[in-house]
Amino acid sequence: MIIVLRNGAPQREIDQLTDMIVRQGGITVNPVRGTDLTILGLIGDTSRLDDSRIESFHCVERIMHVAEPYKKANRMFHPGDSQVSIGGFPVGGRKLAVMAGPCSVESREQITFIAQSIQRSGAQILRGGAFKPRTSPYAFQGLKYEGLELLKAARAETGLPIVTEIMSPNDIDRFVEDVDCIQVGARNMQNFDLLRQLGKIDKPILLKRGLSATIEEWLMSAEYILSGGNEKVILCERGIRTFETYTRNTMDLSAVPVVKRLSHLPIIVDPSHGTGKRWMVEPMARAAVAVGADGVMIEVHNDPQHALSDGQQSVTPAQFDEIMKDIRNIAAAVGREL
C-alpha cells in the first residue's frame, strides 16, 4: 500500500498516522520524500487496515494499493529514479556507467593492462571474473582468491573501482572488504539464501537477470535484497534463453523501458553475454544506450583468441575504444553523457 501525503502536511500529523498504522502490527512504514511529493510505503499485511480511517487523517491525499508482489523495488513505492554509487561513481544519473574488463582475470599483467586501456577510453568501472561459474566442470573456473588480489592490484594502479561475481554466501565478508560492487550472476539470481545475506550488508549489488527469468521474477529477486535493508541494487539485462540458437542468448532490450516503468532501480545492459558474438557487441551497446539503459557492461580482452573464457564475445582494447566513441554520440542524442 502507498499513502500519498498532502504537500506541506505537518510532521506531527504524519507521525500520528504512522503510529496508528504500526499499532496494527506486522506492518513497516517507510517514508519516501521526493521533490514533488512525499509518500508512506507500507510493507506487510495491510488487509487489516481500514482505508476510510487512514483517509480521515488530514495529511492524506490518497491511497494506492500496489498489486505487484514486489514493493520496495516498485516505482510506486519510490517515484524518483534511484542512484547507486560504485566507488564514488553514481549509476543511474545523467552520466552513463561503463563497466569493462575481461571475463576472467588471468594474470596481473593482463588485468592491469586491460584496466589501463579501458580507463584511457573512458570506462569508469573495472569488471573481471575471479570466481567463474561454468556450465562444464572441466572448464576454467577462475583464479578465485588470487583473482581478487589481482583485481585489487589493478584498482591500486588505476583507481578504477572493481565489480566481480560472488558464488557463495561464505565469501560475503571477503567481498565486502575487497570489492566495490558485488555481482550476482544469472545462475544465482534465485539463490535466495545468498540474496538474503546480501540484503544485510552495505555494499552495491549488481543483479543479473536469470537465464529464463521473467521481469517480475527478476524484480522479486531484487526485493529479497531490498527487503533486508540494502537499497543499493543495480539490475543488469544480459539476455535470456529462447528457442533461438544463432546467438548465445536473446538480448531483451525491451526489458529496459519495462523496468524503467515498473521500478526505480538503475539498469545496465551486458551486450557481450547477451549475444555471445564479438561483432554484435557494438550495435547492441548502441541500442542499449538509445533505449534508455543507465550503462553497459562489456567484456574486453587483450588477446581474445587465447582467452581462458568467452574469447568469442570479447572485444580488444582498440575495438572497445571505438565502441566508446560510438556510444558517446548516441548518449548525447538521447540526453545522456559519457
Given a cut of 90, whether residue 77 has pLDDT beyond it is no
Per DSSP, what are the bridge partners of residue 5?
A: 60
Name the one residue in this structure whose C-alpha cell is 543507465.
294
On whether both 222 and 103 belong to a single domain, the answer is yes
Query: Does any domain span residue 329?
Result: yes
Provide the pLDDT for residue 323. 97
Lowest-confidence region among 28-42, 64-78, 82-96, 180-194: 28-42
Query: Does any domain span residue 79?
Result: no
Question: What pLDDT, in 10s, does the model give residues 127-142?
Answer: 999 987 766 776 676 7
Cβ 272 vs Cβ 297: under 8 Å:
yes
Q: pLDDT band at residue 309, thresholds of 50, 70 and 90?
A: confident
Given a cut of 90, whether residue 81 has pLDDT beyond it is yes
Rounded Cα distance, 209 and 122, in Å? 26
Rounded Cα distance, 132 and 144, in Å? 8
Query: Does any domain span residue 271?
Result: yes
Given a cut of 70, whether residue 252 has pLDDT beyond it is yes
**pLDDT above 70 coverage of the chain, percent:** 98
Angle at 288 between CA 286 and CA 290, to 5 degrees: 70
Given a cut of 90, whether residue 34 has pLDDT beyond it is no
On whether both 8 and 52 belong to a single domain, the answer is yes
Work out the burial of residue 82: count CB atoms within 10 Å of its CB; fewer than 13 is exposed, 13-18 middle, 19 or more buried: middle
Provide the pLDDT for residue 138. 65
Question: How far, rounded to the nearest angstrom, does the alpha carbon of residue 170 sit from its chain's CA centroid?
Answer: 22
On whether both 47 and 146 belong to a single domain, the answer is no
On whether both 43 and 89 belong to a single domain, the answer is no
Residue 312, domain extent? 84-333
Write the CATH number for 8. Answer: 3.30.70.1140
Scored b (16 or more CB within 10 A) or e, 102-134 reads: bbbbbeeebbbbbbebbbebbbbbbbbbbbbee
Query: Does any domain span residue 220?
Result: yes
Rounded Cα distance, 247 and 35, in Å? 44
Question: For the residues 94-112, what does the mean pLDDT come to?
Answer: 96
Given a cut of 90, whether residue 262 has pLDDT beyond it is yes
Query: Does any domain span residue 291?
Result: yes
Given a cut of 70, whether residue 97 has pLDDT beyond it is yes
Closest CA to 181 of 149, 156, 206, 146: 206
On whether both 121 and 15 belong to a single domain, the answer is no
Write the CATH number for 91. Answer: 3.20.20.70
More confident residue, 132 or 181: 181
Provide the pLDDT for residue 45. 83
On whether both 285 and 322 belong to a single domain, the answer is yes
Question: For the residues 1-6, what does the mean pLDDT come to?
Answer: 92
Question: For the residues 26-37, what does the mean pLDDT come to?
Answer: 84
Query: Does any domain span residue 75?
Result: no
Reading phi first (left if > 0) and then psi (alpha if -120 to 50, else beta), residue 276 is in: left
Q: Which helix (H) or strand (E) holds 197?
A: helix 192-198
- If you average pLDDT over every residue of the chain, what do you get? 94
Provide the pLDDT for residue 324. 97
Q: List % helix, strand, coil for the chain (3-state, nearest 5).
A: 40, 20, 40
On whether both 271 and 141 belong to a single domain, the answer is yes
On whether both 47 and 97 belong to a single domain, the answer is no
- Count: domains in the chain: 2
On whether both 103 and 250 belong to a single domain, the answer is yes
Provide the pLDDT for residue 134. 65
Provide the pLDDT for residue 224. 96
pTM: 0.90
Assigned C-alpha cell, 305: 583468441
Question: How far, rounded to the nearest angstrom, does the alpha carbon of residue 329 sit from its chain's CA centroid?
Answer: 24
DSSP string over 89-155? EEETSSBPEEEEE-SB---HHHHHHHHHHHHHHT--EEE-BSS---SSTTS----THHHHHHHHHHH
On whether both 324 and 177 belong to a single domain, the answer is yes
Query: Does any domain span residue 252?
Result: yes
On whether both 13 and 95 belong to a single domain, the answer is no
Q: Which of 34, 64, 94 is the last residue of a domain?
A: 64
Q: Which of 64, 97, 114 is the last residue of a domain?
A: 64
Q: In what order do the strands lie in the sheet with 38-44?
A: 27-33, 38-44, 2-5, 60-64
The answer to whether the Cα torsion of 266, 142, 250, 312 is positive or negative is: positive
Query: Does any domain span residue 69?
Result: no
Given a cut of 80, whether residue 229 has pLDDT beyond it is yes
Q: Is 31 helix (H, G, I), strand (E, B) or coil?
A: strand
Rounded Cα distance, 151 and 144, in Å? 11
On whether both 151 and 228 belong to a single domain, the answer is yes
Question: What pLDDT, in 10s, does the model give residues 187-211?
Answer: 999 999 999 999 999 999 999 999 9
